[in-house]
Amino acid sequence: IRATDSPAHRWGTSGTRLGAYEILDRIGAGGMGEVYRARDTKLGRDVAIKVLPALFADDVERLARFRREAQVLASLNHPNIAAIYGFEDEPSAAGHGAGHALIMELVEGPTLDEVIRHGSLPDGGRGFSPGDDPGAKAPGLQLQDALRIARQIATALDAAHEQGIIHRDLKPANIKVREDGTVKVLDFGLAKAIAGSDDPASNPSASPTLTARSTQLGMILGTAAYMAPEQAKARPVDRRADIWAFGAVLFEMLTGRRAFEGDDVSDVLASVLKSEPDWSLLPADLPPAVRRLLARCLDKDLKRRLRDIAEGMLQLDEGLSGGATSSMSIQGGALASGVASGPAAAPRSFVRRALPFAATAVLAAGGAWLAAVLAAPTPAPVNPVRFQHVPATASALFGGPSWNDIAIAHNGQTLVYTTLSPTSGSPRLVTRTLGQLEDAPLRGAEGAMMPFLSPDDQWVGFVESQNATRLRRVPVLGGPSSAIGEAKTTIYGASWIADGTVVFGTADAGLARVAATGGDPAPLTTVDTAIGEVGHRWPSVIPGTSLVLFTAWSGAFPTAKLAAVDVRSGTITRLPVSGSAPRYASTGHIVYTTDDGSLRAVAFDAGRVTVTGNPLPVLEGINLKSTGAANFDVSHDGRLVYISGAATSDRSVTWVDRGGKETPTKAPLRGYFYARVSPNGARLTLDVRDQELDIWIWDTRGTLTRLTANTGTDQYGLWTPNGQHVIFQSTRGQKVGIYSSRADGVGDPELIVERGSAFPNAVSPDGKTLVFRATGKRNDLFSVPLQGEHKVTPLLATEHDELNAALSPDGRWMAYQSDLSGVTEIYVRPFPNVDGSQVLISTAGGSEPVWAPSGRNEVFYVAPGNKLMSVSVTAAGRELVPATPVALFDTANYFFGGAGRNYDIAPDGRRFVMIKSASTGMASTPMTFVLNWFEELKRLK
């Protein structure tokens, strides 16, 4: 480290501190200063610190602008953008000016520039292959590698552009490729921030790369190769400058050569302004869609250049798919399955457009009959056509036991469905649209459930999975999500009205209404407790009217009724039809489900708000949920999509030792969630979530008995330390909350906490205190005595999510997960007084902690990448010292869903109880599509 008066080098001395950060070593020069690796001594993690040049200290306006930009960037939470954690100042000192630094995410791995020079990706994160020659001219990356990297860069640009942030210095040196293949774009918006308040048009030196002080600031002149023509001319720029740079980066990945080259900066700029890239260098097998994308990105005419990177992402998707499709089968005609490589050659007829989810695999193997149907330019057939689609992105199963998992766009062109993330185990949304050959995770909809679409099909609304009271929305093409509103209790279903508002249902209250752009919800309906109503759920708008259909829920399927409310007048009409999850079909029918899994239809006069005929069955075996949700949807043009049977029922219970060896139990296959081991290890409580939602007890000697049975839902079973009681969350009767029941089922359960969204987490070893999670604006932790007056006390109620509390065997410590740092990690605090300091015990993310039994100073948790981790901890007074976490076994084959802990440890500390999908999950539960389904409804009498 050089000795100098510059704050960068003064701070850069190894071992010096900047606030809570200890400088470790210098790792490079950034576009605007030196970059150092440092240790965050508060949170126990390594970070990158970029020390800004000294000239900022003397320019108040620029420094203020830089701070504002940093604040904006800090709000950008995207997996492909390196995060900004903070902004630090050091006051001036003798002989030194003031210093300023950005605290950023430390991203390990080579830059994309290094990857391109080597012509290959790092070998499994262990560096480049021995045969790679960085000095040789690389022929470009493998096509699929280049497109995967480009896709992630594009998602990062899209997320930033949605927030009004332009990079202006996108280049391979500002992009890193981690060992797991994740791409991280660095220095987002910093070039824009350094420009000051002057527009570049009036200050050419404000160029992100070609400044008058570029050599002093350590900037790289070669960046000119990625500048858009308008940027090279120092004219005002918008997002299209980033799109140009994206095209230049993609060209370089594909060819190993820069799109615009020259002997010096002047030659490079002249090439940017006057020359065309050497298109002959592109791979011969490059998909036409990607060629078109490159041409549009590198068009010198701003008016003809691609305007939105989201459009380009669709072309990248087509290139990534390589023409492959997922398996499907056609019923009533030729049967087809398998995967076809290569694009379909048949013309795009009307019927082909009507089959957005039946891709080229059908053409390849479906036979002459189907090929003729798809190629013939004839109108839609009058007879319905059925086919099945097996989602290619299946990870375990459809999303959940309590909500609807699928939604189809009003125009029938887009399907949105819920699956579980293979990395985090939490619900996420996946889309399939016309023009896509494969399903794709919806960017911005991680941790999402209960999808619904806007009337123009441009937005997807959803409910947060970890806080089921929050509604959000995301563009149908993906991007940053934004808040719609928050309910006071768990949301059960939502529907988007053409006037720009969203109506949503609740577990134990009436419908509410909120502006789709965000705001405070207003009540729309009130439950009638006199007739046994518990909540109004699963709303669905009748297009072109002010009517919303919904389910008047009374605690169970057999007594649920259909109803309608006029959102203008608030008038409720209860219909003489028993059922749930109503949808309106333009044939003049309400389509709904009954408790036997039957899909039924009844003629309906929307003008008079009355049924005009008798309900008739139209389909059997619809997948139902215990809350009244049903897995089907109908588009306006007559397409039906549904899931058959109990999509969540095929799971087993197994023991797994520390080395990953399984010992299956003989528990029958059911829809299990949240297994908990009794104190003596002889019994398990299991949430069973298939047709009902109750607590069951599995005796390891071989019997499964039902503990709870009521008209509501019972879940999150938890043993007391003496094994005599089970605590659980319940919606029984009019009092929703946490109850305690005798483990033998004798007597009535006792209400401990009356609160709509309260879920038990842990009981203290002395059996006197319950720790529970409550969901409001966020997830918070509370405690309540189990004897005497049940007075609730807040434990952790912050602006962050804290959940899944676990108590140490001696009752002195509480482990929990929190997103305090922006990433979900495991922390430990003293208990019951949690005001002491917290200790971070995970190192790279973690969730669902549990303590080892008495005698072992050990905490377990689930880490990203599907690993069960073990951390040894040593108590020193009121301090806790964690060791380095150690991976025990892979958890990818086990079920992780919902917001609770999905495993438990036996009293001997040697094995864990895990829930396992007994089949391939969604792969054995295909979605069925019926085209022209309204033809069947029209024939109903």
Catalytic site positions = 169
3-class DSSP state of 312? helix
Instruction: Please answer whether residues 652 and 911 qualify as being in contact, where contact means their C-beta atoms are separated by less than 8 angstroms.
Output: no
Question: 561 has which bridge partners?
Answer: 552, 578
Distance CA(89)–CA(109), nearest Å, equals 28
**Alpha-helical regions (H) of 742-835:** none
Q: Give the angle 175-819-761 at the CA atoms, nearest 5°.
A: 145
Residues 502 and 459 sit within 8 Å (Cβ to Cβ): no
Tell how far CA 437 is from the center of its chain.
21
Task: Choose among 582, 639, 631, 586: nearest CA to 412.
Answer: 639
- Using CA atoms, how far residue 60 sits from 92, 188, 565, 941, in Å, is 14, 22, 58, 78
DSSP state of 744: T
Q: What is the DSSP letter of 58?
A: G
- Distance (Å, whole) CA 867 – CA 865: 6
| 361, 367 contact by CB (below 8 A) | no
| C-alpha–C-alpha distance, residues 673 and 248, integer Å | 49
8 Å CB contact between 38 and 170 = no
491 bridge partner residues: 506
State residue 884 phi and psi, 5-degree precision: -75, 130
Neighbours of 306 (CB within 10 A): 23
DSSP track, 202-270: G-GGG-SS--TTHHHHT--GGGGGG--HHHHTT----HHHHHHHHHHHHHHHHHSS-SS--SSHHHHHH
Sheet hosting strand 640-643, strand order edge to edge: 328-331, 385-389, 927-931, 640-643, 632-634
DSSP string computed for 10-28: HHTSTT-EETTEEEEEEEE
Closest CA to 218 of 62, 437, 14, 52: 52
Q: Which residues lie across from 264 on neighbouring strands?
A: none
As a whole number of angstroms, the distance between CA 914 and CA 919 comes to: 15
Q: Are 940 and 589 in contact (CB under 8 A)?
A: yes
Identify whether the C-beta of residue 401 lies closer than 8 Å to the C-beta of residue 648.
yes
Angle between the N-to-C axes of helices 309-321 and 143-162, in degrees from 0 to 180, rounded to the nearest 10: 160
Cβ atoms within 10 Å, residue 331: 12
Burial 786-796, CB ≥16 within 10 A → b, else e: beeebebeebb
Least Cα distance to 626 among 704, 686, 549, 710 occurs for 710
Would you state the structure tokens that stand for residue 927, as one six-digit string?
């979605």
* CB distance 45 to 85 below 8 Å: no
Q: Pairing mode, if any, of strands 385-389 and 769-775?
A: unpaired
SS3 of residue 117 by DSSP: helix
Intra-chain end-to-end CA distance of the chain, in Å: 86
425, two tokens: 């185990």
